[in-house]
């Protein structure tokens, strides 16, 4: 059974006249007839009966509030009317009424409205719809907004039980005189009835006005104490309002002013996914209030909204962004940044933006998302957890004054009107810093992942998505401009927050993630047939490199047939005829990748099917000595796609024979002058340099250090020889055959 709890905490201004008038305490009056009839009443003193309760009498109400909300769009609406007399407030609902003694601090009356709803488990389709829905809340003030029951109710005398005499918090009041024995009996019967009535029938929703839940009561007590001192409360943000035309806004304002007559009215939208991502408690605050309503807080919580079967079926991932700590806000404010927000990207899983917050030292977001991972391919989830990172970018909103722009235009009178309407104009959002998180810990267990990630400059971390290579570049000759001037992710202006500043301040982002159930793909994905493996080898012996190259040629030629290697701008020759049916069946067994030969070492990147010749190749390579080669490989890593699918058309590998060793290219000063080297080529140089300094295969994959197809082509055109390899009869060779020395991969002697 699902339990939904929602609380409204209203802060109402207390008029001075009502503040001076204290509630009256009445002594119990006994009639003379009753004294003559019973001797017991004569013996019992009046103070004994008076100690059972206190009488509180109220006069004119100071505020009327109507609350209405829609938990499920067009399915379930519920509302409550609140009448406040100052020390006493009465709550009216469809299912009954409740009277409470309020709490008064600093001439402010705090009135809580706590409601509970019970319903049967919701189907999985409704859970999916709930992620994109909102909970509409409408709050009105004024006597005209409440119902007929409230207007007809004329009770102004209430009773406080003796157990609540010394209770400074909210206490329940009674409309009749409470007697201990009868009260105990009523409470016992009420508990039995409520336990029976709480179970809904079919699709019904049972609702009650209860005493506050312990979690809600504790949070409400904290809010009252902190607000009385002047402290701010950390709350979530409502859904952003949709843009409305100016004419519609003017019409709405006119209608509201005519109808309301000065009364307060607001419409709020709460994201429904909060019930799934933050079931314990979510707090919202209404910033704009009026008509004696100083503050409004909304608290929501849920229990058992997902069944055990639904958790296993949907395999949901809950992502939470807590805060940014130690942000160098002085630098940002000096450069015109007044607001910031975060963009969270979990590759191939989800991407969302947080609410915009003002710039300060510690920025609290408290954003959460509920992501259903069962819709994604199983291998994609495993690949993301093992070899990818969650990327959180800090984006700044720069405010640009428009006064100078308006003064250049025609009439000054028109400009003054425009200045009043548009004092600030937001410019483009600028990426300030980035933090990354490794979620591989969620593979071993589904417990909470919590970490404070260090922030870095945007240019210190590779976060862009690799551009796809146009197929026409592989099917014909291309010019250098066509290659280097293709669309790529433009580097934005260098961020104001350099790495030394972020390290010195200790700027961090607090991030959390956890699965509600063990990730289902991790138990049976190992036997997947349509998966790929990756391998990276740096070989220092050219004899071993040539043997490996011959084996790759022999394997791919056995499937694709003999033909030219993939050398840029030398693809005119066609392959020998191959049976197309056989090619389609065996095409998946082709190995693909790239090879970079710089005379000092040879870098091989190989990818292929998880089962087949690739495993035999791995078995041979892993036996090499560390002085002969460095091998980067992990047998647990599986991938859904190839990185170099385009190279599969022509032998599968791109061979790059460099004019200079990589070390000389890295040390040339002209390489790092902006505009001297094409953008794609420079990215390939950066990634190859980091690969040579990497220690694990995970660091290479998680930081996206493997160059893309277009980056390798640009690097080959700039620094490589344009040669062609002619097919010859290949012989079986072993990787441990090191007799051939001082020859390149094509068998040519080196100078």
508 and 533 assigned to the same domain: no
pLDDT band for 586, please (50, 70, 90 cuts).
low
pLDDT at 569 over 50: no
Q: What is the pLDDT of residue 30?
A: 43
Rounded average pLDDT over 199-212: 67
Residue 186: domain span = 2-29+50-300
> Would you give the DSSP letter of residue 672?
G
681 and 655 assigned to the same domain: yes
Share of the chain above pLDDT 70, in %: 70
* Strand 592-597 versus strand 653-657 pairing type: parallel
Q: What is the pLDDT of residue 185?
A: 62
Q: Which residues contact 463 (CB under 8 A, 6 or more apart)?
A: 391, 393, 434, 436, 704
- Give the separation between CA 105 and CA 396, rounded to whole angstroms: 39
Of 319-323, 525-529, 723-727, give the lowest mean pLDDT range.
723-727
pLDDT (tens digit per residue) in 257-268? 334 445 788 899
Q: What are the tokens at 155? A: 């009770």
pLDDT at 744 over 70: no
Choose one of 275, 300, 325: the last residue of a domain.
Answer: 300
The total of other beta-carbon atoms located within 10 Å of residue 635's CB is 11
632 and 715 assigned to the same domain: yes
Q: What is the pLDDT of residue 171?
A: 85
pLDDT band for 739, please (50, 70, 90 cuts).
very low
Residue whose C-alpha is closest to residue 707's, from 738, 672, 683, 674: 683
340 and 293 assigned to the same domain: no
Choose one of 276, 300, 324: the last residue of a domain.
Answer: 300
Q: Which residues contact 365 (CB under 8 A, 6 or more apart)?
A: 321, 322, 323, 324, 342, 354, 355, 357
Of 405-414, 546-555, 708-717, give the lowest mean pLDDT range.
405-414
489 within some domain: no
480 within some domain: no
pLDDT band for 319, please (50, 70, 90 cuts).
very high
pLDDT at 415 over 90: no
Q: What is the pLDDT of residue 448?
A: 83
Rounded average pLDDT over 142-153: 86
Quote the number of domains for the chain: 3
575 and 593 assigned to the same domain: yes
pLDDT at 28 over 70: no
pLDDT at 407 over 60: no
Q: What is the pLDDT of residue 159?
A: 84
488 within some domain: no
Question: pTM score, two decimals?
Answer: 0.77
Choose one of 259, 281, 300: the last residue of a domain.
Answer: 300
749 within some domain: no
229 and 318 assigned to the same domain: no
331 and 446 assigned to the same domain: yes
Most confident of 301-305, 404-408, 470-474: 301-305
502 and 600 assigned to the same domain: no
598 within some domain: yes
378 within some domain: yes
Average pLDDT over the chain reads 77
pLDDT at 390 over 90: yes
- Domain containing residue 394: CATH number: 2.60.40.150
Of 53-67, 140-154, 465-479, 494-508, give the lowest mean pLDDT range.
465-479
């Amino acid at each position: 059974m699902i339990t939904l709890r929602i609380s409204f905490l209203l802060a109402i201004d207390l008029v001075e006249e009502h503040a001076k008038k204290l509630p009256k305490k009445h002594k119990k009056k006994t009639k003379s007839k009753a004294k003559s009839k019973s001797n017991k009443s004569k013996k019992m003193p009046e103070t004994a009966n008076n100690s059972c309760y206190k009488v509180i009498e109220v006069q004119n109400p100071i505020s009327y509030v109507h609350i209405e909300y829609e938990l499920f769009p067009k399915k379930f609406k519920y509302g409550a009317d609140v009448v406040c007399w100052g020390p006493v407030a009465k709550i009216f609902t469809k299912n009954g009424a409740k009277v409470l003694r309020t709490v008064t601090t600093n001439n402010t009356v705090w009135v809580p409205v706590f409601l509970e709803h019970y319903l049967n488990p919701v189907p999985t389709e409704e859970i999916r719809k709930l992620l994109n829905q909102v909970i509409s809340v409408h709050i009105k003030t004024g006597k005209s907004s409440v119902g007929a029951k409230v207007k007809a109710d004329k009770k102004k005398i209430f009773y406080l039980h003796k157990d609540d005499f010394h209770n400074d918090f909210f206490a329940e009041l009674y409309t009749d005189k409470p007697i201990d024995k009868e009260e105990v009996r009523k409470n016992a019967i009420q508990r039995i009835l409520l336990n029976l009535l709480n179970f809904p029938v079919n699709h019904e929703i049972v609702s009650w006005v209860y005493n506050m839940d312990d979690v809600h009561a504790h949070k409400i007590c904290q809010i009252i104490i902190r607000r009385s001192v002047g402290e701010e409360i950390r709350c979530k943000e409502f859904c952003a309002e949709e843009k409305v035309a100016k004419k519609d806004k003017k019409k709405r304002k006119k209608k509201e002013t005519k109808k309301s007559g000065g009364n307060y009215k607001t419409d709020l939208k709460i994201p429904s996914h909060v019930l799934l991502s933050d079931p314990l408690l979510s707090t919202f605050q209404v910033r704009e209030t009026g008509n004696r309503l100083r503050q409004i807080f909304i608290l929501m919580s849920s229990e058992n909204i997902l069944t055990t079967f639904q958790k296993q079926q949907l395999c949901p991932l809950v992502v939470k962004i807590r805060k940014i700590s130690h942000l160098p806000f002085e630098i940002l404010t000096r450069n015109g940044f007044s607001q910031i927000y975060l963009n969270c990207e979990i590759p191939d899983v989800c991407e969302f933006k947080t609410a915009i917050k003002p710039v300060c030292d510690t920025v609290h977001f408290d954003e959460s998302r509920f992501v259903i991972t069962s819709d994604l391919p199983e291998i994609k989830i495993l690949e993301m957890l093992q070899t990818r990172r969650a990327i959180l970018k800090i984006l700044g909103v720069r405010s640009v004054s428009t006064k100078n722009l308006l003064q250049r235009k025609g009439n000054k009178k028109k400009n003054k009107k425009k200045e009043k309407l548009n004092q600030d104009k937001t410019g483009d959002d600028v990426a300030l810093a980035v933090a990354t998180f490794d979620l591989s810990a969620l593979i071993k267990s589904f417990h909470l992942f919590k970490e404070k990630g260090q922030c870095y400059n945007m240019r210190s971390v590779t976060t862009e998505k690799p551009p796809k290579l146009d197929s026409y570049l592989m099917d014909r000759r291309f010019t250098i401009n066509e290659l280097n001037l293709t669309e790529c992710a433009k580097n934005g202006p260098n961020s104001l927050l350099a790495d030394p500043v972020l390290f010195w301040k200790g700027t961090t982002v607090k991030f959390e993630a956890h699965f509600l159930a063990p990730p289902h793909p991790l138990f049976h994905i190992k036997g997947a047939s349509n998966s790929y493996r990756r391998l990276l080898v740096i070989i220092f012996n050219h004899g071993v490199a040539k043997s490996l190259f011959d084996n790759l040629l022999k394997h791919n030629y056995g499937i694709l047939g003999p033909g030219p290697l993939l050398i840029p701008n030398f693809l005119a020759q066609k392959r020998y005829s191959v049976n197309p049916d056989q090619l389609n069946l065996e095409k998946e067994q082709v190995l693909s990748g790239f090879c970079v030969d710089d005379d000092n070492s040879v870098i091989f990147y190989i990818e292929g099917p998880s089962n087949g010749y690739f495993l035999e190749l791995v078995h041979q390579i892993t036996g090499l000595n560390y002085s002969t080669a460095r091998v980067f490989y992990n047998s647990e890593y599986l991938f859904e796609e190839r990185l170099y699918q385009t190279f599969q058309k022509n032998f599968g590998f791109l061979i790059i024979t460099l004019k200079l060793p990589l070390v000389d290219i890295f040390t040339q000063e002209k390489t790092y002058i902006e505009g001297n080297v094409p953008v794609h080529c420079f990215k390939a140089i950066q990634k190859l340099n980091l690969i040579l300094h990497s220690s694990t295969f995970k660091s290479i994959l998680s930081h996206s250090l493997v160059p893309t197809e277009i980056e390798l082509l640009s690097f080959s055109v700039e620094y490589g020889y344009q040669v062609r390899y002619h097919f010859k009869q290949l012989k079986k060779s072993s990787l441990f055959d090191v007799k051939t020395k001082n020859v390149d991969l094509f068998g040519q002697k080196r100078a």
